[in-house]
């Protein structure tokens, strides 16, 4: 990948964007179902020169429901389903009822870490999420956002049906 291509990325929320939302915490690999079209959308974004970075809140860790090993098992399953094109996977283990964390969206520390690690230009990056807090985290660091799925309404936000539609939109913008 040339230097210009490494200056941009797509940040991806996990549950509801990459895998099916099940109404509770998704931490068992058998409950982790990659949504239709996600592997192909990620492949298209990767081929277009975008870094792919997952940023996900995992409050179930702070609540003692599961641990980092379960999150990593789900992420390994995601990588396998998507052909290993995801460059980094960040997760925030905290929950406001248990501990404070700047990692947890709508705060932006996960994004800040990736921006620094990969020397990304925020103006050339996107964040695809299914909640207002996802886009709020991106906005804190100057990253444009796209809501997908049955997202909470957010005035002025671009809302598309799913990740494949978001990938098409992002690629058309370059």
Q: Single out the residue of 87, 75, 76 nearest to residue 117, CA to CA.
A: 87
Cα→Cα distances 117→7, 75, 170, Å = 11, 20, 22
Burial of 171 (0-12, 13-18, 19+ CB in 10 A): middle
Containing 42, the helix (H) or strand (E) segment is: helix 38-47
Active site residue 15: yes
DSSP-assigned letter for residue 144: E
Q: Which letter does DSSP use for residue 127 in this model?
A: E
Q: Which residues pair with 92 in a beta bridge?
A: 57
Q: Mark whether 31 is an active-site residue.
A: no
**Active centre residues (catalytic):** 13, 15
């Amino acid at each position: 990948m040339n230097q210009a291509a490494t200056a941009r990325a797509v940040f991806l929320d996990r549950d509801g964007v990459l895998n099916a939302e099940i109404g509770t915490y998704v931490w068992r690999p058998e409950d982790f179902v990659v949504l239709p079209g996600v592997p192909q959308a990620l492949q298209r974004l990767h081929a277009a020169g975008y870094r792919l970075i997952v940023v996900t809140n995992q409050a179930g860790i702070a609540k003692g429901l599961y641990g980092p090993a379960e999150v990593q098992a789900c992420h390994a399953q995601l990588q396998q389903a998507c052909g290993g094109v995801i460059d980094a996977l960040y997760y925030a283990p905290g929950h406001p009822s248990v501990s404070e964390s700047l990692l947890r969206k709508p705060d932006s520390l996960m994004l800040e870490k990736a921006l620094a690690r990969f020397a990304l230009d925020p103006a050339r990056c996107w964040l695809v999420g299914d909640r207002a807090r996802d886009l709020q985290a991106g906005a804190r660091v100057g990253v444009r956002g796209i809501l997908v799925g049955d997202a909470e309404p957010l005035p002025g936000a671009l809302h598309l049906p799913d990740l494949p539609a978001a990938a098409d939109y992002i690629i058309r913008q370059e």
